[in-house]
Amino acid sequence: MSDELRLEGVTKGYNHAKPNEVTVLQGVDLRVGAGEVVALVAPSGAGKSTLLHIAGLLDTPDAGRVWLGETDMTALSDKRRTAARRREVGFIYQFHHLLPEFTAEENIVLPQLANGVSRAAARDRARELLDTVGVAPRASHRPAALSGGEQQRVAYCRALANRPRLLLADEPTGNLDPGSADRVFAALMDLVRGTGLAALIATHNLELAGRMDRIVRLEAGRVVA
């Protein structure tokens, strides 16, 4: 199994050279292989969002390296990292962040258009994804007309619209009731398993974490199995 994501000795702190300097990550090493779904478990404030931002090229480490496939992303310019993030990484957050003025289908089409996909192909991809998660009948509805679970499933589809090699999720069911969380998580797993991409999913829900391939914990700024 090849590594799609590899972090090597990643360190990150804030307020450098000040009395209130904080080191959040202290030499993190982590690998996520193609087709693997890894749960990231950590207490609040432990730095899991920082780790996800660095893994997803939204932030840069103070030291260490971030690899996507065979490419050392820390060696690239900001412009090339931005292009790689748009092309190769999908993000899911606790709240769906759908664009309220657009329909479910349009929310999935738009990131594809930004990546140069034709409108016809983007619509076909959106409908395929919505069908996979059971929201196809609601494709023409705007987010306000969708339930919380439906909104989050549309957000999953949007994250996977451009066929990324890596999916990063931060508490993707955290704003849902337990019943909805279970159904929505099952939909996410169907999407991930159907693509073979690598997925790193941060969650407080240990039952959901146990349904993934592997669990890692962030403790004292380091990742442990």
Domain ranges in the chain are 3-224
Cβ burial, residue 124 (10 Å; 0-12/13-18/19+):
middle
Closest CA to 163 of 132, 119, 194: 194
Pick from 72, 93, 84: nearest CA to 188? 93
Can you state the angle between helices 178-195 and 148-160, rounded to 10 degrees? 20
Q: Which CATH number is 3-224 given? A: 3.40.50.300
Q: What is the pLDDT along the chain (225 residues), one digit of tens a residue?
A: 577 999 999 999 887 666 666 788 999 999 999 889 999 998 777 788 899 999 999 999 999 999 998 999 998 899 999 988 888 999 988 777 899 999 999 999 999 998 899 999 999 999 999 998 889 999 999 999 998 889 988 998 999 999 999 999 988 877 677 777 787 788 778 878 878 889 999 988 888 889 899 999 988 888 887
In whole angstroms, what is the distance from residue 10 CA to residue 8 CA? 6
